[in-house]
A and B are shown apart, each in its own frame.
Chain A
Amino acid sequence: DSGVTQTPKHLITATGQRVTLRCSPRSGDLSVYWYQQSLDQGLQFLIQYYNGEERAKGNILERFSAQQFPDLHSELNLSSLELGDSALYFCASSVVAELYNEQFFGPGTRLTVL
């Protein structure tokens, strides 16, 4: 158990819908990262938040957005869903913002878009 929790574990929805994935970082970690893992794209960095502020952006689509709340949990919002958005979405956390530090990963949310 990494100490990072993600809900829900599985999510099945239809094209065009909107979903919200939730992540609670390890106690004391200020940085939260979101990743998408799919068979064709591998593990792709989406976005990073540090202490409530967006810090870095990766290959995140405009239909996707995220935020980090004052209690440091984070939500990833995916809208106008397409079949190709089906993937495993991981959240990770670390103590600091810098990437030389270990990231602790959650168990992931498996999203299936039908």
Chain B
Amino acid sequence: AQSVSQHNHHVILSEAASLELGCNYSYGGTVNLFWYVQYPGQHLQLLLKYFSGDPLVKGIKGFEAEFIKSKFSFNLRKPSVQWSDTAEYFCAVPFGNEKLTFGTGTRLTIIP
């Protein structure tokens, strides 16, 4: 079945630490890949997306993600996190252009 997996449910890091959040999907077709972020008390907003071309995608606020087709992965990275990165992060994949399927989300807590 088509699915999106985020294995890290809650990640706690200190400021300036490096971040990598995992996202794996199961789908054999052409994919577009998204990372959305939900800051406390705010609406979901797009962090970055992969449509085609360079598999290393740069997004807002210093985030980047790498699409590795052979591993069905689209991991989110940031070299040095800040307290303001505390949020919930969702990986999302549209399967067959019918619905956008979200992962279960990863709650990121940054300790000052």
A-B contact count (CB 8 A): 48
Is the pair A107, B43 in contact by a Cβ cutoff of 8 Å? yes
Q: Shortest beta-carbon distance, A23 to chain B, in Å?
A: 12
Is the pair B99, A56 in contact by a Cβ cutoff of 8 Å? yes
In the docked arrangement, what's the CA distance between A38 and B36, Å? Answer: 17
Residue from the list B34, B45, B100, B102 in contact with A42, Cβ < 8 A = B102
Chain A residues near B104 (CB-CB < 8 A): 42
Which stretch (B16-24, B63-71, B90-98) binds chain A?
Answer: B90-98
A89 within 8 A of B: no
For chain A, give the interface size range. 20 to 34
For chain B, give the interface size range. 20 to 34
Is the pair B102, A43 in contact by a Cβ cutoff of 8 Å? yes
A48 within 8 A of B: yes
Q: Shortest beta-carbon distance, B41 to chain A, in Å?
A: 9
In the docked arrangement, what's the CA distance between A57 and B111, Å? Answer: 40
Chain B residues near A103 (CB-CB < 8 A): 46, 100
Chain B residues near A49 (CB-CB < 8 A): none
Is the pair B105, A2 in contact by a Cβ cutoff of 8 Å? no
In the docked arrangement, what's the CA distance between A103 and B32, Å? Answer: 13
**Contacts A99-B97, A100-B32 given: A105-B43 contact, CB under 8 Å?**
yes
Residues of A within 8 A of B (CB): 2, 4, 33, 42-45, 48, 56, 58, 90, 92, 98-100, 102-108
Residues of B within 8 A of A (CB): 32, 34, 36, 42-46, 49, 51, 90, 94, 97-105
